[in-house]
Amino acid sequence: MATISDVARLAGLSVSTVSRVINKSPHVSDKKREAVESAMNELGYVPLPAARQLRGSRTNTMAVTIPRIVNPFFSYLVDAIEQELDEAGYSTLIVQTFGRAEEELTALNLLKNQQVDGVILCSLENDWSVINGYCKYGKIVLVNEYLKDVDVPIIRGDQYDGFYTATNFLFDNGYKKIAYATGRKTITIMKKESNFDADRFAGFQSSLSDHNLGFNYDWLFTNAHTAEDGKEIFKKIMTLKNKPDVVIAGSDEVAMGISQEAEKQGIKVPEQLGVLGVDDQPASANLRIPLTTIKQPVDEMGRKAARAMLGLINGEEVSKMQICKLKVIKRASA
Amino acid sequence: MATISDVARLAGLSVSTVSRVINKSPHVSDKKREAVESAMNELGYVPLPAARQLRGSRTNTMAVTIPRIVNPFFSYLVDAIEQELDEAGYSTLIVQTFGRAEEELTALNLLKNQQVDGVILCSLENDWSVINGYCKYGKIVLVNEYLKDVDVPIIRGDQYDGFYTATNFLFDNGYKKIAYATGRKTITIMKKESNFDADRFAGFQSSLSDHNLGFNYDWLFTNAHTAEDGKEIFKKIMTLKNKPDVVIAGSDEVAMGISQEAEKQGIKVPEQLGVLGVDDQPASANLRIPLTTIKQPVDEMGRKAARAMLGLINGEEVSKMQICKLKVIKRASA
């Protein structure tokens, strides 16, 4: 890439003259200005923003990965992150992973290529051993999804407690046969606090155990992301001999689909089938059957993640783990 | 940035050996592999993806700008674009502009710095004279927002016709006093087909004129983006002596806010106040008062924009202007 010296050389002028043109100083003749501008054009030279010049080699740009932009939980999470970064003068590049390892590497390679100062990962698509290899190129922060024993700041919801409390809430409201839907293809059973999905399921199962119940594997629905997936889940439930009386839907979108399809087929929500969402999306309160849901503090999580990243960049002490509370929002669907 | 030759030199091996290591050829001794890998690490050398090596200097990455990620119209638009680009082997970086010129430049500078092959702009924040200066660095496509007389492919909705038809629809349903809300701070009156917002307003005004009505400036609400803004609009309407009987809300989000606040204050929608959304977001059909709205064909527009970009990249003939139809979806709110 061309440097300011290359521009000066081609224009036949001093570096300080080039710098004055870049900084729009009035003390430059039109002729010199034109010579510098034409040299810059010829070389494809892009002046660094002033802040970057001051701070050294920083790009003042961050990357944020999210699995799906059309999932409002993630669009609001990235928006909170970006607002906080923006206040600190950073631009943000958003990378959608679609849950694929190679798209996460697209974001991590921005770090490796020094195109961004840091990457905030809102989900985890690669093994930690792979991601960890990128820590030497810049700063990494995890938000939402998490792992145990990693050396980067993590900002996460208390998934175990949230799902334990929510499942107890369903029992308290008279439900006994609780189905469980998740976006994942599989659920790995692990020690507590090791993993987002494992903790959600562990919270759910602990509540079942407290009520002397095991889990019925006919009531597990995996790979559920959209309202369409929710409709399919409802259809599958209808084919079961032993039907659940409530579904923990994994997201508000899936919950919305289950509830819509139930309504279409004349099954009453919440009387014949309860539906519990997760996320508390903006529309959830205003649906025909307002969603009972597990609210994640998305704005708080996003802002904390951005502040952790800014702290790392500025060489401050950053706490390794910040845990935000989930809570059940009671409405009509369960 | 380090090249493959730098790696070969540092490793004390030939370029073809380095290439064999990069391409995971089995015919390399472990010792040579380690030497190459350690040289690559030391130099921070990142091998280009195979496709990029074949095609020359392409990055196989695109940038897409959107004003706000939390507006589902834009998250679905960018998702459609990205799905189509993804099928063609491209990664996508998403840049949120918040309606600011400098954030749009962040995306355009990715093009200038050869970090992306093309930029798809879903909104326009800079003057065309500024954007046009970036056309020499790569491909630019406009989708959704548009201008007259520019030399890049444009994929857009027929805003004039959509708003003309929708306003006629309101008259046909007995409304006479039509308020108009927009996300813009001002509306510029221009010749037809010059500008997104001008065309929307022109379609609206043409229908008013057909019904021998002028526009009441007390019923113009600008800078309206969110459900919260919609609530404020409703409150302002309540303070007016001469109240509108329906609002064209500019977006489903604003429509949702107006409708919620009306319900809260005991004003019946659609009997006492009609509300017409724009976009037909996923939740709009399932609200307590399902939204009547102007549907934009977001998936069609996104995919066409991506295909136009891929056509440009591949040197194909690409049509300069593709216009997609808007239509009114009649539900309960108007």
The reply to whether B309 and B273 lie within a common domain is no
Candidates A34, A31, A36, A30; CA nearest to A13 is A36
pLDDT of residue B193: 86
The reply to whether B181 and B111 lie within a common domain is no
H or E, element range at A20: helix A15-22
**Least CA distance to B82: which residue of chain A?**
A96
| Distance of alpha carbon A308 from alpha carbon A81, whole angstroms | 10
Q: Are B295 and B329 in contact (CB under 8 A)?
A: yes
pLDDT of residue B39: 86
Q: Is B329 domain-assigned? A: no
The reply to whether B169 and B185 lie within a common domain is yes
Distances (CA, A) of B264 to B62, B211, B232, B245, B283: 45, 33, 13, 18, 20
The reply to whether B111 and B139 lie within a common domain is yes
| SS3 assignment for B124-181 | CCCCHHHHHCCHHHCEEEEECCCCCCCCCCEEEECHHHHHHHHHHHHHHCCCCCEEEE
Q: Is A51 domain-assigned? A: no
The reply to whether B165 and B263 lie within a common domain is yes
The reply to whether B153 and B129 lie within a common domain is yes
> B178 has which bridge partners?
B246
DSSP character for B48? P
Buried/exposed A57-70: b ≥16 CB within 10 Å, e otherwise: ebbbbbbbbbbbbb
| Distance of alpha carbon B138 from alpha carbon B108, whole angstroms | 9
CATH of the domain at B147: 3.40.50.2300
The reply to whether A309 and A192 lie within a common domain is no
- pLDDT tens for each residue of chain B, 334 residues long: 567 778 888 888 887 788 778 777 767 888 888 888 888 888 877 765 443 444 445 789 999 999 999 988 999 999 999 999 999 999 999 999 998 999 999 999 999 988 999 999 999 999 999 999 999 999 999 999 998 889 999 999 999 999 999 999 999 999 999 999 999 888 888 888 888 999 999 999 999 999 999 999 999 999 998 899 999 999 999 999 999 999 999 999 999 999 999 999 999 999 999 999 999 988 898 888 999 999 999 999 999 999 999 999 999 999 999 999 999 999 999 9
Half-sphere CA count of B17, side-chain side, radius 13 A: 21
DSSP character for A206? H
The reply to whether A131 and A236 lie within a common domain is no
Give yes or no for A229 touching B (CB within 8 A). no
Candidates B297, B298, B287, B299; CA nearest to B263 is B287
The reply to whether B193 and B218 lie within a common domain is yes
Give yes or no for B287 touching A (CB within 8 A). yes
pLDDT of residue B54: 41
**Least CA distance to A70: which residue of chain B?**
B75
The pTM assigned to this predicted structure is 0.79
pLDDT of residue A122: 97
Q: Would you say the C-alpha torsion A218, A223, A226, A232 has a positive or negative sign? A: negative
Q: Is A177 domain-assigned? A: yes
Candidates A231, A262, A271; CA nearest to B282 is A231
pLDDT of residue B52: 42
The answer to whether the Cβ–Cβ distance between A70 and B82 falls below 8 Å is no
The reply to whether B72 and B105 lie within a common domain is yes
Candidates B93, B90, B95; CA nearest to B66 is B95
Residue A317 CB burial class (10 angstroms; 0-12, 13-18, ≥19): exposed
Give residue for tokens 């954030």: B103
Q: What is the ipTM of this complex?
A: 0.75
| Distance of alpha carbon A173 from alpha carbon A276, whole angstroms | 12
CA dihedral (B207, B213, B215, B216) in degrees, to 10, reads -140
Cis peptide before B297 (omega within 30 of 0): no
| Distance of alpha carbon A141 from alpha carbon A306, whole angstroms | 8
Reading the block at residue B264, the tokens are 């809260």
The answer to whether the Cβ–Cβ distance between A95 and B95 falls below 8 Å is no
Per CB-CB distance under 8 Å, the chain A contacts of B86 are: 98
Q: What is the DSSP string of B77-91?
A: HHHHHHHHHHHTT-E
**Nearest-CA distance A235 → chain B (Å):** 19
Q: Is A16 domain-assigned? A: yes
The answer to whether the Cβ–Cβ distance between B137 and A75 falls below 8 Å is no
H or E, element range at A41: helix A30-43
| Distance of alpha carbon B58 from alpha carbon A191, whole angstroms | 45
Q: Are B80 and B303 in contact (CB under 8 A)?
A: yes
Q: Are B281 and B294 in contact (CB under 8 A)?
A: no
Q: Is A52 domain-assigned? A: no
Which of B78, B95, B287 is opposite residue A93, by nearest beta carbon?
Answer: B95
Label the pairing between strands B321-324 and B118-121.
unpaired
Range of the structural domain that residue B13 is part of = 4-45
| Distance of alpha carbon A46 from alpha carbon A38, whole angstroms | 12
The reply to whether A163 and A291 lie within a common domain is yes
- A30-45: per-residue pLDDT in tens? 888 888 888 888 777 7
The reply to whether A149 and A167 lie within a common domain is no
Q: Which of B40, B76, B94 to mutate to test the interface with A (most CBs of A within 10 A)?
A: B94
CATH of the domain at A10: 1.10.260.40
Q: Would you say the C-alpha torsion B206, B211, B217, B222 has a positive or negative sign? A: negative
Q: Count of H helices and E strands in chain B? A: 12, 12
Q: Is A75 domain-assigned? A: yes
Reading the block at residue A3, the tokens are 């440097």
Per CB-CB distance under 8 Å, the chain B contacts of A69 are: 69, 75, 78-79, 82, 94
The answer to whether the Cβ–Cβ distance between B113 and A46 falls below 8 Å is yes
Mean pLDDT of successive 10-residue stretches along chain A, which has 334 residues:
76 81 77 86 66 57 94 94 95 94 94 94 95 95 93 96 98 97 88 89 96 94 93 97 97 94 95 96 88 96 97 94 96 95
Distances (CA, A) of A188 to A182, A196, B62: 12, 10, 35
| Distance of alpha carbon A80 from alpha carbon A69, whole angstroms | 14
Q: Is A329 domain-assigned? A: no
Domains contained in chain B, number: 3
Per CB-CB distance under 8 Å, the chain B contacts of A90 are: none
Q: Is A262 domain-assigned? A: yes
pLDDT of residue B261: 96
Per CB-CB distance under 8 Å, the chain A contacts of B293 are: none
Largest Cα–Cα separation, chain B: 86
Reading the block at residue A283, the tokens are 């529309």
pLDDT of residue B13: 86
**Least CA distance to B104: which residue of chain A?**
A91
Q: Count of H helices and E strands in chain A? A: 12, 12
Per CB-CB distance under 8 Å, the chain B contacts of A84 are: none
Reading the block at residue B83, the tokens are 């799905």
| Distance of alpha carbon B288 from alpha carbon B285, whole angstroms | 9
Give yes or no for A135 touching B (CB within 8 A). no
